[in-house]
């Protein structure tokens, strides 16, 4: 299969086949998900020794465990005997994990400690039959990532200049961040690249897909023709690693209309401290969309972070958390949680719009003629980049453009052909 015919970056043309072909998806699992840094969760989910939570790396089930020495282990959730999951709970605290199939038992480090009728195995060396560990696990200011590739660059190198934008999410204030309210999970019948690309590049859709929600939350005299998003100053950024995002420019925080009053006041009141820590421009960026390639995304302001777990070529599980400043008072944390759920929770006003779009696009691609067409990714094709004085060492362009989307698929193609 000639992928360069399907992804023609210089022409701004993408084939629908990359979203609808099971063969391409199977290749993605090996070429992208097995070699990229994938988001696992947040350190605040496992504060004590023995704390664990279950998640996935693409379609591989894994679980994360805090060790007695404070370190973190990520283990493939597959018994070495017949392949059953050994951790059946979403989260909790444990001293051991015992497979319910044949009773093989592992400690929190993944080492095999006991098995029924061990004498029947002869001279079995239990040290050879521990759970498989995720090859690389690293944390960036509380965000946990894993990678199966022993030869991959460090997480810091992988994030590159995008770390500047991650800091705007996780490093605003002393004390860092924490997850509140647990994880929300839901299924959407679409290809994983649709939401990942949208969060990387697409402010364009907001004024149209979300117009009913916007008008419902605005004053009665609000006129979208007068208050056009396209007239606001904004930028898109993208990096060589495929990471990207977009945001409106501001000198001070202009919190999202979806936030509760207490959350808005917190962003405004903590601005000076955040500015001294991460810079004024980054601290003021409380409205924006972002993706760390391939499938970790977040929205500034509402502070929803999520992973688009692939489930085949035409289905995903969305796993979403709400991230808050650890030093925020309880009422602010609760306000952030409520605002995120109201807008981008499983039944959120805006989440429903996005999900319907992605599902309908995927449905259309069931047709042979639809799969054989072409999609236009030509917005701002050939336009010069925008130089940002003192900005992060990354690429910048107009907020309303396909630059970041084209870059997403440039990186996708690079890995698929490696």
Res 255: pLDDT:
77
Residue percentage of the chain with pLDDT more than 70? 95
Q: Quick check: 222 pLDDT over 60?
A: no
Res 207: pLDDT:
83
The total of structural domains in the chain comes to: 2
Q: Does one domain contain both 84 and 218?
A: no
Q: Quick check: 227 pLDDT over 80?
A: no
Mean of pLDDT values over 265-278: 95
Element (H, E) at 14: strand 13-14
Question: pLDDT, tens digit, for every residue of 55-108?
Answer: 999 999 999 999 999 999 999 999 999 999 999 999 999 999 999 999 999 999
The Cα 292–Cα 295 span in angstroms is 7
Question: pLDDT, tens digit, for every residue of 135-158?
Answer: 999 999 999 999 999 999 999 999
For the question of whether the overall pTM of this predicted structure is more than 0.85, the answer is yes
Task: With cut-offs at 50, 70 and 90, classify the pLDDT of residue 226.
Answer: very low
> Is residue 30 a part of any domain in this protein?
no
Q: Does one domain contain both 315 and 398?
A: yes
DSSP state of 83: -
Task: With cut-offs at 50, 70 and 90, classify the pLDDT of residue 218.
Answer: low
> Is residue 132 a part of any domain in this protein?
yes
Res 4: pLDDT:
97
Query: Among candidates 213, 19, 346, which has minimal Cα distance to 205?
Result: 213
> Is residue 90 a part of any domain in this protein?
yes
> Is residue 377 a part of any domain in this protein?
yes
Whichever domain contains 234, its CATH number is 3.90.380.10
Q: Does one domain contain both 88 and 173?
A: no
Query: Which is it for strands 13-14 and 375-376: parallel, antiparallel or unpaired?
Result: antiparallel
> Is residue 173 a part of any domain in this protein?
yes
Q: Does one domain contain both 240 and 356?
A: yes
Q: Does one domain contain both 244 and 375?
A: yes
Mean of pLDDT values over 307-325: 98
Last residue of a domain, one of 140, 171, 191: 140
Q: Does one domain contain both 254 and 179?
A: yes
Query: Which is it for strands 288-292 and 296-300: parallel, antiparallel or unpaired?
Result: antiparallel
Strand, coil or helix: 372: coil
Q: Quick check: 393 pLDDT over 70?
A: no
Question: pLDDT, tens digit, for every residue of 43-58?
Answer: 999 999 999 999 999 9
Q: Does one domain contain both 111 and 166?
A: no
Last residue of a domain, one of 107, 140, 173: 140
> Is residue 344 a part of any domain in this protein?
yes
The Cα 92–Cα 53 span in angstroms is 7
Res 231: pLDDT:
58
Q: Does one domain contain both 114 and 211?
A: no
Q: Does one domain contain both 332 and 249?
A: yes
> Is residue 22 a part of any domain in this protein?
no
Task: With cut-offs at 50, 70 and 90, classify the pLDDT of residue 349.
Answer: confident
Q: Quick check: 257 pLDDT over 80?
A: no
> Is residue 18 a part of any domain in this protein?
no
Least confident of 33-37, 111-115, 226-230, 329-333: 226-230
Q: Does one domain contain both 264 and 362?
A: yes
Task: With cut-offs at 50, 70 and 90, classify the pLDDT of residue 384.
Answer: very high
Task: With cut-offs at 50, 70 and 90, classify the pLDDT of residue 344.
Answer: very high
Tokens of 63: 């679980």
Q: Quick check: 323 pLDDT over 50?
A: yes
Q: Does one domain contain both 62 and 130?
A: yes
Q: Does one domain contain both 115 and 168?
A: no
Whichever domain contains 95, its CATH number is 2.102.10.10
The domain of 363 spans 161-416
List helix spans (H) across 298-402: 330-344, 349-364, 368-371
User: 369-385 burial by CB neighbour count: b if 16+ within 10 A, else e?
Assistant: eeeeeeeebebbbeeee
Question: pLDDT, tens digit, for every residue of 275-304?
Answer: 999 999 999 998 899 999 999 999 998 999
- Tell me how far CA of residue 293 lies from CA of 8, 58, 241, in angstroms: 19, 13, 7
């Amino acid at each position: 299969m000639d992928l360069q015919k399907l992804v023609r970056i210089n022409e701004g043309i993408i084939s629908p086949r990359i979203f609808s072909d099971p063969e391409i998806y199977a290749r993605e699992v090996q070429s992208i998900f097995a070699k990229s840094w994938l988001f696992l969760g947040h350190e605040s989910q496992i504060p004590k020794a023995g704390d664990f939570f279950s998640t996935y790396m693409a379609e591989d089930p894994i679980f994360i465990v805090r060790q007695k020495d404070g370190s973190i282990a990520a283990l493939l959730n597959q018994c070495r005997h017949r392949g059953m999951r050994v951790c059946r709970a979403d989260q909790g605290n444990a001293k051991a994990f015992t497979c319910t199939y044949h009773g093989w038992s592992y400690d929190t480090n993944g080492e095999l400690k006991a098995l029924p009728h061990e004498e029947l195995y002869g001279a079995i060396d239990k040290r050879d039959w521990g759970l498989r560990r995720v090859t690389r696990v690293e944390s960036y200011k509380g965000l946990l990532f894993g990678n199966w590739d022993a030869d991959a660059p460090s997480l810091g190198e992988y994030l590159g200049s995008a770390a500047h934008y991650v800091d705007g999410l996780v490093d605003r204030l002393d004390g860092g961040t924490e997850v509140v309210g647990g994880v929300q999970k839901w299924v959407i019948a679409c290809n994983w690249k649709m939401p990942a690309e949208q969060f990387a590049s697409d402010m364009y859709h907001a004024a149209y897909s979300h117009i009913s929600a916007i008008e419902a939350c605005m004053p009665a005299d609000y006129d979208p023709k007068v208050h056009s998003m396209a007239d606001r100053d904004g930028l898109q950024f993208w990096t060589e690693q495929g990471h990207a995002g977009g945001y409106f420019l501001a000198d001070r925080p202009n919190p999202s209309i979806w936030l509760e009053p207490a959350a808005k006041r917190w962003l405004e009141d903590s601005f000076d401290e955040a500015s001294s820590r991460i810079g004024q421009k980054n601290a003021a960026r409380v409205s924006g969309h972002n993706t760390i390639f391939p499938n970790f995304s977040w929205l500034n302001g509402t502070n929803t972070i999520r992973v688009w777990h692939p489930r085949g070529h035409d289905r995903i599980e969305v796993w979403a958390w709400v991230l808050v400043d650890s030093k925020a008072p309880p009422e602010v944390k609760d306000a952030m949680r409520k605002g995120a759920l109201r807008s981008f929770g499983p039944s959120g006003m805006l989440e429903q719009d996005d999900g319907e779009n992605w599902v309908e696009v995927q449905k259309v691609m069931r047709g042979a003629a639809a799969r054989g067409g072409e999609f236009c990714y030509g917005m701002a094709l050939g336009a010069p980049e925008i130089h940002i004085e003192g900005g992060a060492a990354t690429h910048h362009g107009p907020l309303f453009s396909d630059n970041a989307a084209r870059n997403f698929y440039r990186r996708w193609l690079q890995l698929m052909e490696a």
